[in-house]
């Protein structure tokens, strides 16, 4: 069974998904970060393939991506690192990247390589729905890779239903229409948006992402759906930690999961 499917079958609440950029802060951080996040209690890990022009990402991920690229990260190396991490952990792994990287690698070759290395799901935010349905969906399904799509406060109800039908993985609920990295309180407007999604009664698991940065925002997000995704805040916590990425990763997860103070 796909590890993501198993996770969401077993755990309905408080799913913690941590995102990091592969190759940051150092070229060989990938394996220790994955192992340490998983051991400390992250339920699922999203690995960003660094891209030169990450148009949906804010300063933090732009910076980690350009550091990762100058460190020499590339897809072939990342596939090897993921396979290595897979020898140590059964944590579900999702790969996120921009579609151009997949196109250049070759769609079929890409799907085969990442599924073979132990990836369970994909997020390709700029892959258009029709191209996914036409070319990509079959490849992903044959390789047992779940594909997640994003929805935003501007996505209409009808479109959310369509996207939910296309999504074979969890729905990525963008908390506000903003690029990654903003830190925000959850506002009334966002609550109304979450309620609107709730009313659609979709079967897909849902994780809230963008702007979740600490224990408080994580807990609030978890009140609405199955869990939340933290990216930029984790990456910021790795700055200057080149020699202790494993410890820094563990400490970060512990801070998020610390028992609620009364």
Partner 1 sequence: MKNIAIDDRGYYGRFGGAYIPEMLHANVEELRRNYLTMMADPDFKQEFDLLMRDYVGRPSPLYYAERLSKHYGTQVYLKREDLNHTGAHKINNTIGQILLAERLGKKRIIAETGAGQHGVATATVCALKGLKCIVYMGEVDIERQAPNVARMRMLGAEVRPALSGSRTLKDATNEAIRDWINNPEDTHYIIGSVVGPHPYPDMVARFQAIISEETKWQLQEKIGRDYPDAIVACVGGGSNAAGAYYHYLNDERVRLIAVEAAGLGVDSGESAATSQLGTEGIIHGSRTLLMQTEDGQIVEPYSISAGLDYPGIGPLHAFLIDGKRAEAISVTDDDALAAALFVARQEGIIPALETAHAFAALDQMAYGPDDVVVVCLSGRGDKDLAAYSSYLDSVPLNPA
Whole-angstrom CA distances from 160 to 123, 129, 178, 193, 209 are: 16, 12, 18, 12, 16
Of 158 and 258, CB closest to partner 1: 158
- Which of 28, 39, 43, 46 is labelled catalytic? 46
First-last CA distance in the chain: 39
Q: Please tell me the distance from the alpha carbon of residue 190 to that of residue 176, in angstroms, as a whole number.
A: 7
Compute the C-alpha angle 236/238/242, nearest 5°: 145
Q: How far is the CB of 114 from partner 1 (least distance, A)?
A: 14
Of 49 and 246, CB closest to partner 1: 49
- Which of 28, 53, 57, 242 is labelled catalytic? 57
Q: How far is the CB of 209 from partner 1 (least distance, A)?
A: 11
Of 65 and 226, CB closest to partner 1: 65
Q: How far is the CB of 174 from partner 1 (least distance, A)?
A: 6
Active site residue 188: no
Active site residue 142: no
Q: Please tell me the distance from the alpha carbon of residue 70 to that of residue 5, in angstroms, as a whole number.
A: 35
Place of tokens 């690029």: 179
Q: How far is the CB of 154 from partner 1 (least distance, A)?
A: 4
Of 34 and 127, CB closest to partner 1: 127
DSSP state of 168: S
Q: Please tell me the distance from the alpha carbon of residue 11 to that of residue 5, in angstroms, as a whole number.
A: 10
Q: Please tell me the distance from the alpha carbon of residue 23 to that of residue 188, in angstroms, as a whole number.
A: 37
- Binding residues for partner 1, per CB under 8 A? 51-53, 55-56, 58, 62, 66, 69, 74-75, 98-105, 125-128, 130-131, 149-156, 159, 163, 174, 177-179, 182
Backbone angles phi, psi at 238, to 5 degrees: -90, -10
Q: Which residues are catalytic?
A: 46, 57
């Amino acid at each position: 069974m796909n590890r993501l499917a198993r996770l969401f079958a077993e755990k309905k609440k408080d799913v913690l998904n941590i995102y990091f950029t592969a190759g940051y802060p150092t070229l060989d951080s990938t394996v220790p970060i994955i192992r340490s996040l998983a051991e400390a209690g992250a339920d699922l890990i999203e690995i960003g393939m660094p891209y030169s022009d990450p148009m949906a990402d804010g300063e933090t991920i732009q910076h980690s991506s350009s550091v990762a690229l100058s460190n020499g990260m590339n897809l072939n190396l990342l596939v090897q690192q993921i396979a290595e991490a897979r020898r140590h952990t059964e944590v579900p792994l999702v790969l996120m990247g921009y579609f151009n990287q997949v196109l250049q690698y070759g769609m079929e070759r890409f799907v085969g390589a990442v599924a073979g290395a132990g990836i369970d799901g994909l997020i390709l935010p700029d892959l258009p729905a029709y191209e996914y349905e036409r070319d990509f969906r079959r490849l992903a399904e044959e390789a047992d890779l779940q594909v997640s799509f994003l929805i935003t406060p501007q996505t209409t109800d009808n479109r959310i239903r369509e996207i939910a039908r296309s999504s074979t993985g969890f729905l990525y609920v963008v908390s506000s229409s903003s690029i990654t990295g903003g830190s925000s309180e959850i506002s009334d407007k966002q609550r109304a948006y979450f309620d609107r999604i709730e009313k659609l009664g979709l079967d897909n698991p849902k994780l809230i992402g963008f702007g979740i940065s600490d224990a408080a925002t994580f807990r609030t997000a978890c009140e609405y759906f199955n869990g939340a995704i933290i990216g930029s805040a984790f990456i910021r916590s790795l700055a200057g930690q080149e020699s202790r990425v494993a410890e820094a990763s563990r400490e970060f997860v512990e801070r998020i999961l610390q028992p609620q103070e009364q």
